[in-house]
A and B are shown apart, each in its own frame.
Chain A
């Protein structure tokens, strides 16, 4: 019988599908099959709308049911500031109701006009070069990108793109703020972990546009959110180094273009990720998640006492076994990098694919 576990993608080269969608419906400005550049606009939508209710019946002094007779506009019409919305001729003059701002007539209801004022437009950019392979309704598109991909577990800040600067000599190495001396303009740095807020500030000051980090404390996550500095955590919250395969991949691709997709929906199982487009290289299809646990698979352990160690499955236990705290769980025997073979609960494994 097959046993399944969660998986994390750490792929040096693959055909990657990346969904790019607006928060609400909008206008798609690219076509399926089109090649797009990183900064190319894919779709746009009004960023925020505010509504204003104009009571026409009160302004004209008529019953709400009679307002229809006096209207000069209908739903969906664009109006400018001062545009007459309704008017009532009187014996010695004209009473008019004007639009207080530029906007659109959103609704006319029971003697009232609802005006919608659009304050700005949100433009959705690709943020990674690729090809449009699918249109997702009026929300966005699916891009296909060739390159490397690293899934994270948490992220903050806006989607970012830049050049990868791997500043760590080892998966657990960090930096001190005073070590950030060079210009990091348009760079996304990779480092084992970030240990203080001064380093975050130093990275921002040096022009870095994002970071791929093994872990940070909860306080620092909040600080990064406040700074709106894009950070992708690959391991978790606390003091956890980059997993060895992730570190090795990032070091190998040092200097390549990288995009951080920080938006994610954990409730739907969608995770943040880093994509490094690698043009001109052969590619394989994106890996499947539906692979059962089996001997030889590379797994990351997510809880103490072997937290963050990456090992290889030796044996899948068919029966429950005892954990160090005395609880029983289904699990596997994993060979750790030091050669030790340990029993790990299935729930605490992440297959690296």
Chain B
């Protein structure tokens, strides 16, 4: 289909769809002057819910919109996708879709020790669309009967069994497995959960033999093969497969979508993680990918040799938005507002948004409220996922998506949400998935790498600008950085940046400049404290952002002073 060595592509058109909780996005790519380009994209409401209960309807609506934009007929008169392209130019050659619209996998966790195997299992679950609906371990003091009641009433999709090191003791693990077997026996046929076993490999056969009589048993590598060793990839992959099989593939209307698709349908997060990992390999640097969706928030931290994926499928800017109030106080959201608001009003706002999840802010006040919630969602996921008190850390490339970012009226607002929430350090560009197609492109990286590369180069990913964000702290107003900037045209600009400042250096999209960055000894731009570096950067929508506000950011908890500071930061990045 494509020639990776020359970059030449076969003349095949792609239609890719991202079916989210509230919005379905379709994008049409085709070859223009020998390279893939995004021709059109369109959004429509997702039709998974009543009264439609058919995901294919929303996809058809979105495709019809693309036809209206491009004048290219893509659907037949009875709503079927025309594939491949016909001689009259109607139709499309290839189709694929990614989904986050399906509910999370209801998972019951069974293991031995809370702080060993169960902790690893929870980390594996955090990398996919799962909800833990119950668990039992050796720490449980309940009677067997009570444990069975909990297990049976949980109505899980999947039982995830972990425990034991490879070659270690078997008896206690098999007692837990026996209890699961007893629970399965109490459930009606057709309502028994599937089992994933990722424990001591020596009891795999026994587990399969014992539980396999009652339900499907899948085996993954032991998440804790030895003390102090954690191996999650295989379990994460298997949970992802189960999610596709039990949740995505059973969505109403999926039959049509599966028939149309040339590439296996993936979950949005899995596909998003693929493209972030791909970018990390391409740039040989640490790439942070952020997806603030309507029903899921995901953060991927990828570098060559490893990645960390944190997914929270019970958080998002849509219906689950109110769940953030279980993790943060209203005042933590309120601290990001440029105006004062009572905690009660803030809670009312968040909970009302949960009732109308698909709505968008029309006033400035509503806009800042949603952006404040987005900051806390992102902070919670990144801190929770890494188990760290520091947010994202060093960054080589920041890629972000989600309606709250792409729909921000000014690019500075999107950038500020990311910088405030993640507080990354280093010298890095910010790419924004303006059209909501990044995960769908991720789904094609394995089979059509040229599509991803050329579509990204062709402007699918909006370049907000480079960020210079040193780590370190100092006295507010005292010199932190000196920057000597010389544009390709020879124009020079020398800037001294004080600690606490957030500044934009002018560098228009398409322009290039060389910057000599000289931090003072307490600051580090990624090459060592006080060490200078010279970089050549391309301009973006914001120019170059210099963020010397310190890490971690210090904000007054309440009051006019804090409101004014937040307002000033918005103004500094052209966000208000």
Seen from chain A, the residues whose Cβ lies within 8 Å of a Cβ on chain B are 1, 4-7, 25, 49-53, 106-107, 109-110, 112, 114, 116, 153-154, 217-219, 221, 233, 236-239, 266-270, 288-290, 302-305, 323-329, 344-345, 347-348
Contact = CB atoms under 8 A, between A and B. Distances in A.
Contact of B185 (A6, A52, A107, A304): A107
B178 A303 contact: no
Interface centre among B61, B188, B363, B367 (most CB of A within 10 A): B363
A302 B359 contact: yes
B363 to A, nearest CB: 5
Contact of A4 (B45, B53, B103, B360): B45
Contacts of A106: 185-186
Contacts of B49: 267-269
Given A218-B348, A327-B361, A347-B359, A109 B185 contact: yes
B306 interface: no
A51 B355 contact: no
A4 B44 contact: yes
29 contacts: A1-B64, A1-B65, A1-B68, A6-B45, A6-B358, A7-B51, A50-B145, A51-B146, A51-B152, A109-B181, A153-B355, A219-B347, A233-B355, A237-B352, A269-B50, A270-B50, A303-B362, A303-B363, A324-B363, A327-B367, A327-B407, A327-B409, A345-B360, A347-B45, A347-B359, A347-B360, A348-B356, A348-B359, A348-B362
Contact of A51 (B145, B181, B349): B145
Interface centre among A239, A323, A325, A326 (most CB of B within 10 A): A325
Given A53-B143, A303-B366, A269 B51 contact: yes
B328 to A, nearest CB: 15
B352 to A, nearest CB: 4
A109 B185 CA distance: 9
Contacts of A304: 362-363, 365-366
Contacts of B348: 217-218, 237-239
Contacts of A7: 51
Contact of B186 (A107, A219, A268, A323): A107
A287 B178 CA distance: 53
B436 to A, nearest CB: 14
B406 to A, nearest CB: 10
Interface centre among B143, B347, B355 (most CB of A within 10 A): B355
Contacts of B146: 50-51
B182 A107 contact: yes
Interface of B: 44-45, 48-53, 61, 64-65, 68, 103, 143-146, 148-149, 152-153, 178, 181-182, 185-186, 188, 319, 344-345, 347-349, 351-352, 355-356, 358-367, 407-410
Nearest to A64: B178
Contacts of A345: 359-360, 362
Interface centre among B49, B103, B149, B352 (most CB of A within 10 A): B352
Interface centre among B53, B61, B186, B345 (most CB of A within 10 A): B186
Contacts of A323: 360-362, 409
Contacts of B410: 326
Q: Which 9 A-B pairs have the closest CB atoms?
A: A269-B49, A326-B409, A289-B51, A269-B50, A327-B409, A52-B145, A238-B348, A53-B144, A237-B352
A266 B359 contact: no
A261 B555 CA distance: 46
Contacts of A266: 319, 355
A348 B362 CA distance: 9
A345 B363 CA distance: 11
Nearest to B367: A325
A347 B153 CA distance: 38
Contacts of A328: 409
Nearest to A107: B185
B101 to A, nearest CB: 10
Contacts of B51: 7, 269, 288-290
Contacts of B351: 218, 221, 237
Nearest to B345: A238
Contacts of A4: 44-45, 61
Contacts of B409: 323, 325-328
Given A51-B186, A266-B319, 7 more contacts: A51-B148, A237-B352, A304-B363, A325-B362, A327-B360, A327-B408, A348-B359
A303 B148 contact: no
Contacts of B366: 303-304, 325
A51 B153 CA distance: 11
A57 to B, nearest CB: 13
B149 A49 contact: yes
Given A109-B185, A267-B103, A270-B50, A114 B148 contact: yes
Given A267-B319, A304-B363, A345-B362, A238 B148 contact: no
A1 B185 CA distance: 54
B356 A325 contact: no
A50 B143 CA distance: 11
Contacts of B65: 1
B365 A236 contact: no
A116 B183 CA distance: 12
B149 A218 contact: no
B546 to A, nearest CB: 24
Nearest to B58: A4
B363 A53 contact: no
Contacts of A329: 360, 407
